[in-house]
Amino acid sequence: MTGLTGGQRIRFGLLFAAFEGGMPVIGLLIGAGLGQVIGGWSEYVAIAALAGLGAYMLFGLEDKDEARVQGLLHRGGFAVVGLGLSISLDELAIGFTLGLLNVPVVPTIALIAAQAFAVSQVGFALGGRIGEATREGAERLAGAVLILIAAALLVARILGHTV
């Protein structure tokens, strides 16, 4: 997302932070509710969801068309809202997983939103300077890390620890 003014960077950064902070809340509520229904299986469902999200990110099933993103940004209105939704679906999945694991809601959401704002600012500043391969590599690395976390949680659960 290159060619943005300083004001646009702040505005879009706040919008993305709102989506990145709001979608986990929705996921947390869904996950916590489902966790109450499925009981002891909720940790395994959370681990599977985390591993699934990691695999999705690792194997690049997400469309990363920079031109499409640029077009949506410059159209404004509902197009930007759609972009915000599309980039925060992974946060919905993370929130769902965290809800199943019954983590504290407020600190988790505050950290996710702050991280989203900071990372969006770095992305706006460096986006035009780094190549698409670097961006995709970072996404794949994040996916691999999520899979490793899911594996560690599974091992911990098998060994009798609560996750």
The H or E element containing residue 4 is: none
In this structure, what DSSP letter does residue 41 have?
Answer: G
Q: Which residues lie closer than 8 Å to 110 by C-beta, 6 or more apart?
A: 21
* Dihedral pair phi/psi, residue 160, rounded to 5°: 95, 5
Identify the pLDDT of residue 67. 54
Q: Encode pLDDT of 3-20 as tens digits.
A: 667 787 788 778 877 887
Phi-psi group of 45: left, alpha or beta (phi > 0 → left; psi -120 to 50 → alpha; rest → beta): alpha
Longest dimension (CA), the chain: 53
43 pLDDT above the threshold of 60: yes
